[in-house]
Structure 1
Amino acid sequence: MTTKTGNGGWGPRVRGTGLAAVRGLALALVTLPGAVLGFTLSLVSVALVPIGIGVLTTPWVLTGVRAYADWRRVLAAEWCGVRIPSTYRPTPKGARSWARTWAMLRDPAVRRDLRWLLVDMTAGFTTALLAAVLVLYPLEGLAVAAWLWRPLSELGGGYWYGFVHVTDQSSALLAGALGIALLALAPLAPRVLTAHFRLTRAVLGAGQGELAERVRVLTETRRDAVDTSAAELRRIERDLHDGAQARLVAMGMDLGTIEALLDKDPARAKLLLAQARQSSVDALAELRDLVHGIHPPVLAERGLGDAVRALALRLPVPTEVAVDLGGRADAPVESAAYFAVSEVLTNAVKHSGADRIWIDLHHTDGMLRIGVTDNGRGGAVITAGSGLAGVERRLGTFDGVLAVSSPAGGPTMVTMEIPCALS
């Protein structure tokens, strides 16, 4: 943008400067009304939350503010190469309005959006307009010197261009000279526009404190994952020792006894042989159950959708499953999602008193979303040591979230979201 052309001109710079001026003017025309409208609606909607109206309007208003901020992120990247990451927390889909409102208000990225609107209507508007003024104002001086001085001089009191009072042709030429001098500042327009977007990034981007908190949360979830894995290994070892291993040892002893009794007491040997055969069947069943608890074969072979369908078929409560997945997630994500659904279903069967359960699995916007709804008595909460707390820890390992809506009297809706891509 700043290199000379082959003929010694400054064509690329002029075009880049002019484009920055046009973009700055367009931004200025959008920034002030957009920021004022977004901030005012957000402020009024949040203020109306205590009386209930804001509970219905706030999610819609904040979603609009988010879309406006994301649009500015796109402009920053396309116009000036300024990358502003979007770090919003997933909003629970299908949850009640108060749950969505509370989740959005707790999101640090949403609070940054509101602070950014204040900055955008002041410093943001000023920097965007300045990018246009650096180019358009010098051109105005040249236009005044060329032909505008006649109609302008006829105005009562004349016309001021900067510090030049335009009243006749000589003063118009002085205004033109000032315009030429100011034109030397025009190449700064692209830099000013870039500064505008860098200001946007400084406000919309995650701060060091939030990043530190994010690292702390991820550290805790990883520690929980390690602890869970260690506990799972101990459970597998215990189940093998007390179950299949004990049966295999007993079967070996029975076979030794059978070998000794084969000639002396064939009838007794035949009875022990039947017991050994039954022990082998029981040991095989226990091994299959153990393997199923580690990683269900249907999950590995046919994917999450069919594995959840198979899980639903074994429930004592009629369960409907809707699946809309265009591919398969990574194996660890599928495993985490499967066992999370399994735990939620177990809780529903044991504690909700429901006579019907609905499961919905779909993937949109890079997010695996799972909803489990039952028509039971409600009252489910995430408490320390509960099954839902374990599900939350399991999902947290993959940056996932868990939301529970369970008013007294039901229904209970559990929403799980895991960021992932499908193959």
Structure 2
Amino acid sequence: MLALVRGPVLAVVGLPLSILLFVLSLVSIALLPIGVGVISTPPTQLAVRWYANQRRRLVREWGGFEVPEPYQPWPRELRSGVVGQVERCVLLLKDPATWRDMAWLSADMTAGFVTALLPPLLPVNHQLTKAMLEPTREMLLAQRVEQLYETRHDAVDTSAAELRRIERDLHDGAQARLVAMGMSLGTIEALVERDPARAKQMIAQARENSAEALNELRDLVRGIHPPVLAERGLPDALRALALRMPVPVEEDIELPGRFDEPVESAVYFAVSELLTNAAKHAEAGKVWLDVLYAPAAGGGGSVIRVTVTDDGKGGASLEGGSGLGGVQRRLAQFDGALALSSPRGGPTMITLEVPAEPVTG
């Protein structure tokens, strides 16, 4: 019965849209030599991609088939708005998926229209759309290469930023205290015979400075790799982290032993960022932390899955230079992913997954 309704609706709505977008695309490309197409092609092709994505969604909802997007990722410069109109147009036209979309539009307004009109042939329309809109093996490989390039770039940026932070903390903290302590010791050496009382006072101050420098060095080391994480593993480290939060954190952590150190460190600092955000920015009264080891959603291995939920004001975003965006980029270095649900008014739920295997022996 559903096919009797879906088919005609798809045909009536899809035919004019497919014809319109196909004609606009041809005209825009034809106008490229005189420069007009440079302006009209990007918005036209983005409209085609939007329409193709809607049809991918229908294939998923009506036919149960997943049709991933085949488009090449936008370069970092384009996402930040630095790239001009000409470069944007060239990037779109160099993407093989653009031309597959064009071929699909021509097929959709002919064979697709006929199969949509005839209810028994509607499944053929889901299969045709899937075959023409899903990425080829070459596209998937290109996407993976681009993703690896991006994650390597992010890893280099993160490492450089971490080194700068360590240098700044050492320069402004422990190093400054140690230099001051060295100068004090020189003064004490000169005063020890002339003014023993003053020398004794300065020795006490130098002892206090050395203790503070030691604490700052410990804090610095803890920021690089927390001792509790190295000594007791990820579950205990996350529990200790939850206890230090200024808001109540209800935790449920089930992990089978130890994992590779880089993975444990990535998960630890990601959770630290999420809990800190909930406490500082979400105005949350309570936070729930759930951590488990589970099969990956798409099969093929297992993941550490972390869910952080808070009852705060919501409105969190991955856009711009947000801390959550930084967490997402750092997790991508381990093929990890982050999903966010944060409507205005709350609650906020953030789920992250990192592929991992327990360390044996």
TM-score (norm 1): 0.53
Q: 1:414 aligns with which of 314, 338, 350?
A: 350
Tell me, yes or no, if structure 1 residue 213 matches structure 2 residue 213: no
RMSD: 3.5
The DSSP-based 3-state class of the residue aligned with 1:398 is coil
The DSSP-based 3-state class of the residue aligned with 1:363 is strand
Q: Give the alignment of 1:33-48 within 5 angstroms.
A: none
- Residue 275 (structure 1) shift: 0.3
| Deviation string, structure 1 residues 44-75 (Cα, Å, up to 9, x no partner) | 9xx9xxxxxxxxx9999799767xxxxxxxxx
Amino acid at match of 2:321: G
Structure 1 residues 291 and 400, CA, compared in 2 at 3 Å: closer, same or farther?
same
Q: 1:292 aligns with which of 219, 222, 227?
A: 222
Show the counterpart of 2:153: 223
Show the counterpart of 1:25: none
The DSSP-based 3-state class of the residue aligned with 1:320 is strand
| Deviation string, structure 1 residues 352-377 (Cα, Å, up to 9, x no partner) | 11110010110111011000000001
Amino acid at match of 2:237: A
Amino acid at match of 1:404: L
Show the counterpart of 1:396: 332
- Residue 294 (structure 1) shift: 0.5
Tell me, yes or no, if structure 1 residue 350 matches structure 2 residue 280: yes
Show the counterpart of 2:169: 239
The DSSP-based 3-state class of the residue aligned with 1:399 is coil
Percent identity of paired positions between Structure 1 and Structure 2: 61
Show the counterpart of 2:322: 386
Equivalent residues of 2:252, 2:290 under 8 A apart: yes
Question: For residues 305 and 65 of structure 1, what CA distance do their matches in structure 2 show?
Answer: 38
Amino acid at match of 2:326: G
Question: For residues 59 and 324 of structure 2, what CA distance do their matches in structure 1 show?
Answer: 25
- Residue 325 (structure 1) shift: 0.7
- Residue 210 (structure 1) shift: 2.1
| Deviation string, structure 1 residues 6-39 (Cα, Å, up to 9, x no partner) | xxxxxxxxxxxxxxxxxxxxxxxxxxxxxxxxx9
| Deviation string, structure 1 residues 377-412 (Cα, Å, up to 9, x no partner) | 111111121100100100111111111000111100
Show the counterpart of 2:240: 310
Q: Give the alignment of 1:115-130 within 5 angstroms.
A: none
Amino acid at match of 2:227: P
Question: For residues 223 and 179 of structure 2, what CA distance do their matches in structure 1 show?
Answer: 23
Uncovered stretches (5+) of structure 1, i.e. residues with no partner: 1-38, 48-56, 67-107, 109-117, 123-202
The DSSP-based 3-state class of the residue aligned with 1:208 is helix
- Residue 417 (structure 1) shift: 0.6
Q: 2:262 aligns with which of 313, 322, 332?
A: 332
| Deviation string, structure 1 residues 327-360 (Cα, Å, up to 9, x no partner) | 2221111111111111111111111111100101
Amino acid at match of 1:358: W
The DSSP-based 3-state class of the residue aligned with 1:214 is helix
The DSSP-based 3-state class of the residue aligned with 2:215 is helix
Structure 1 residues 234 and 273, CA, compared in 2 at 3 Å: closer, same or farther?
same
Question: For residues 201 and 168 of structure 2, what CA distance do their matches in structure 1 show?
Answer: 30
Q: Give the alignment of 1:152-301 within 5 angstroms.
A: 207-301=137-231
Amino acid at match of 2:274: V
| Deviation string, structure 1 residues 266-297 (Cα, Å, up to 9, x no partner) | 11001101100000110001001100111101
Structure 1 residues 410 and 58, CA, compared in 2 at 3 Å: closer, same or farther?
farther
Q: Quick check: which has more Rg, 1 or 2?
A: 1
Amino acid at match of 1:353: E
Question: For residues 362 and 59 of structure 1, what CA distance do their matches in structure 2 show?
Answer: 32
Amino acid at match of 1:378: G
Question: For residues 294 and 357 of structure 2, what CA distance do their matches in structure 1 show?
Answer: 10
Amino acid at match of 2:234: L
Equivalent residues of 2:59, 2:65 under 8 A apart: no
Amino acid at match of 1:410: G
Amino acid at match of 1:289: D
Structure 1 residues 396 and 250, CA, compared in 2 at 3 Å: closer, same or farther?
same
Question: For residues 265 and 231 of structure 1, what CA distance do their matches in structure 2 show?
Answer: 47
Question: For residues 277 and 231 of structure 1, what CA distance do their matches in structure 2 show?
Answer: 33
Q: 1:374 aligns with which of 297, 310, 313?
A: 310
Show the counterpart of 2:253: 323
Question: For residues 197 and 248 of structure 2, what CA distance do their matches in structure 1 show?
Answer: 49
